[in-house]
Chains A and B, each alone.
Chain A
Amino acid sequence: MTGLGSAMDSLSAAVKCNIIPNQEYLLQGSVLDQYVEVLLHRLRGLCDNVDSGPESFHDHELCFTLRGSGPGSSMVLPLRVRRALDVPEAPWQLRYVGQHEIGDKNRPTVVRSSIDMACSSTIVEFLTELGCRMDFEYIARGYMFRKGRMKITVSKIFKMGSMTNKPGESVEPISQSYLVELSVLAPSGQDAIAEDMRVFAEQLKPLVELGKIDYKRANFP
């Protein structure tokens, strides 16, 4: 018990001191399939991991929702589970992503709260037991770049095929483009990083127009 108590204490102390990176600054865009090589080439030049080349990833993401229990309760808690398909021994990742805050024009990026942690593969069972329902899932395959604290992912998003129990097979891309995301995880209040991101995004124009994409607006046709 004492161990748990002290862990809680140090956690709350960390929250108070505002050192937990729980804010995600995010810019999103896309690039057509035929130009992705050009973009990768440019990113290779701009980013830090020049020598090792881009890191590739092949992830499966499952999105669960936990609905409020009371009747008429509209509270929906989204939880995301992610696992690497190419590295089976890697731990799984559980992640909570909060509401998109678009903010006004002066704010260069979207800000959303984000908490993630490593977990084991039994997380799916655990969440199901908790009453979470799987909402949707997808496969993301692509490349990751780093530039200081910034993370840039260029990924192709695939829809799961009919064989849901065998991810990686019979998948189909959902569009003719790659999703490009530029993000930084930082403790809240570090808005200066957003400006750095805007400058970096500027360097990728006109290949990719990274911007603040409003989910509500993106929900068209």
Chain B
Amino acid sequence: MQQAREEKQLETALDAIIQRVNDLKSSMAAMIYKVENEYETMNWPTFLDNYALLSGHLTSLSKLMNHDKCPPLRNLTVLPLMLSPERDEQLVQNTEGRVTTFAHDLVPDYLRTKLEPMAETKMLQLEHKAANLNYDNAQKQVTAYQKVVSHVWDIVNKAREEWEVESSSRGTAQQNSSTQDTHVLVAAVGMGKGLKMVTNPNGQPNPSSGGMMVAPQGPGRPSAPPGQGPISSTPQTMMNKAPSAIKTNIKSATQIHPYGR
């Protein structure tokens, strides 16, 4: 009873896995086809979409295999029951023509659970080398590697910190323009605000000029060297913020330098 249930579970799990693997295979085939045949018209977004599709399939496959309902496949063994050097039509059909015979020279490769032979020999070589090293040498190499790795680690960390600072500063809406300046400029170009002549022909200060920034630079008055009047030493931004004080300053300035011309 128990065994029957387990077998049924295994069967459904295998069916699901086969379906997922087929999905993955078809989308990989589609991508390869695209790369081979549409490489001239293909753009990055579609390429990345294809990648996203593949990784989605892979994720769902691994989710399926990690699922509680899925029996532990690791505990199962695949045994070749019969080898034959003759062509097996069913096998050809199942593998879409890739494997034609289930013979002794192919089976070890297809049913292999160990690493690839080349990787295996390489691993063996390395293990052999490691075993022959004496302790001091090994220790030295380990510390050297650790030094390099920690250095790289530091560099990467520093770069990441910089990126984070940059991106966070970008997030807080960097001020590139000032609305006040926009209005000052537009009003000046459009209506001459702050640009108009300070003096009328009759020598009176022009009330329409309005802007206090104009006053010290009127045509009737030679431009004062810095520091002569209280006004010229005041930065412009200050002047915008404190109009009342400035106006009195202008008055006193006109008394010192009456508009003669």
Contact residues on A (Cβ < 8 Å of other chain), bracket: 35 or more
Q: Are A31 and B176 neighbours in the complex by a CB distance under 8 Å?
A: yes
How far does the Cβ of A97 sit from chain B's closest Cβ, in whole Å?
A: 8
Determine the chain A residues whose CB is within 8 A of the CB of B193 once the complex forms.
Answer: 218-219
B106 near A: Cβ within 8 Å?
Answer: no
**Which of B183, B221, B243 lies in contact with A218, CB distance below 8 A?**
B183
A66 at interface, CB cutoff 8 A: no
Name the residue on A nearest B182 (C-beta): A30
Kindly report which residue of chain A lies nearest to residue B213, judged by CB atoms: A174
Contact mask for chain B residues 174-188; partner A; CB cutoff 8 A; 1 contact, 0 none? 111111011111111
A171 to chain B, nearest CB (A): 10
A12 proximal to B (CB < 8 A):
no
Q: Is A221 an interface residue (CB 8 A)?
A: yes
Look across to chain A and name the residue whose beta carbon is closest to the beta carbon of B208.
A135
A29-B173 Cα distance, complex, nearest whole Å: 17
B223 contacts chain A at the CB level, 8 A cutoff: yes
Q: A161-B223, A162-B223, A221-B240 are in contact. Are A32 and B177 (CB under 8 A)?
A: yes
Residue ID in chain B nearest A36 by CB atoms: B176
| Given known A-B contacts A136-B195, A137-B195, A174 and B188 have beta carbons under 8 A apart | yes
Kindly specify which of A44-52, A101-109, A206-214 makes contact with the partner chain. A206-214
Binds B, one of A86-94, A113-121, A175-183: A175-183
Q: How far is the CA of A175 from the CA of B239 in the complex (A)?
A: 12
Q: Contact between B186 and A136 (Cβ–Cβ < 8 Å)?
A: no
A215 to chain B: which residues have CB within 8 Å? Answer: 186-187, 190-191
> Which residues of chain B are within 8 angstroms of A172 by Cβ–Cβ distance?
217
Q: Give the nearest-CB partner of B185 in chain A.
A: A179
Render B188-221 as a binary contact track against A, CB cut-off 8 A, 1 for contact: 1111111111000000000000000110011101
B102 to chain A, nearest CB (A): 62
- Out of B173, B177, B195, B197, which one reaches A177, CB within 8 Å? B177
Assuming the contacts A136-B196, A218-B183, asked whether A29 and B189 have C-beta atoms less than 8 A apart, the reply is no
> B177's contact among A161, A207, A217, by CB below 8 Å, is which?
A207
Contact B190 A159 (CB under 8 A): no
Closest residue on chain B to residue A160 by CB atoms:
B195
Contact yes or no, B182 A29, CB < 8 A: yes
- Judge whether A174 and B184 touch: CB under 8 Å: yes
Task: Report if B222 contacts A (CB, 8 A).
Answer: yes
In the assembled complex, A138 has its CB within 8 A of some CB on chain B: yes
Partner of B185, one of A157, A160, A164: A157
Q: Known contacts A174-B213, A218-B183; is A135 also within 8 Å of B176 by CB? A: no
> What is the predominant secondary structure among interface residues of chain A facing chain B?
mixed
Nearest A residue (CB) for B214: A159
Question: Is there an interface contact between A31 and B189, defined as CB atoms closer than 8 Å?
Answer: no
Pairwise interchain contact A179-B195, C-beta atoms closer than 8 A: no
Contact A213/B223 with A136-B196, A138-B195, A162-B217 known, Cβ cut-off 8 Å: no
Task: For B218, give the chain A residue with the smallest CB separation.
Answer: A162
CB-CB nearest in chain B for A137:
B195
- Chain B residues with Cβ under 8 A from A23's Cβ? none
CB of B197 to closest CB in A, whole Å: 7
CA of A63 to CA of B197, assembled, Å: 12
Q: A164-B219, A170-B223, A220-B183 are in contact. Are A177 and B178 (CB under 8 A)?
A: yes
Taken together as a complex, chains A and B put the C-alpha atoms of A177 and B187 apart, in Å, by 14
Given the complex, which residues of A lie within 8 Å of B194, measured CB to CB? Answer: 159, 174
Residue in contact with B178 in the complex, picked from A30, A135, A138, CB distance below 8 Å: A30
**B176–A174 touching, CB < 8 Å:** no
Inter-subunit contact B177/A31 (CB<8 Å): yes
> Are A30 and B192 in contact, CB atoms less than 8 angstroms apart?
no
Contact B188 A157, beta carbon cutoff 8 Å: yes
B173 to chain A, nearest CB (A): 6
- Measured CA separation A215–B190 after assembly (Å): 7
With a CB–CB cut-off of 8 A, which chain B residues contact A209?
A: 177, 179, 182
Q: How distant is the Cα of A88 from the Cα of B220 in the complex, in angstroms?
A: 28
- Which residues on A sit within 8 Å (CB–CB) of B174? 206
Contact across chains for B189 and A138 when beta carbons are under 8 A apart: yes
Bound together, the chains give a CA A32 to CA B174 distance in angstroms of: 12
Q: Can you list 13 A-B pairs with a CB-CB distance of less than 8 A?
A: A30-B178, A30-B182, A30-B185, A31-B176, A35-B176, A136-B195, A162-B219, A206-B176, A207-B177, A209-B179, A213-B182, A213-B186, A220-B183
4 other A-B residue contacts (CB within 8 Å) besides A174-B213, A176-B237 = A30-B178, A63-B192, A174-B188, A213-B183
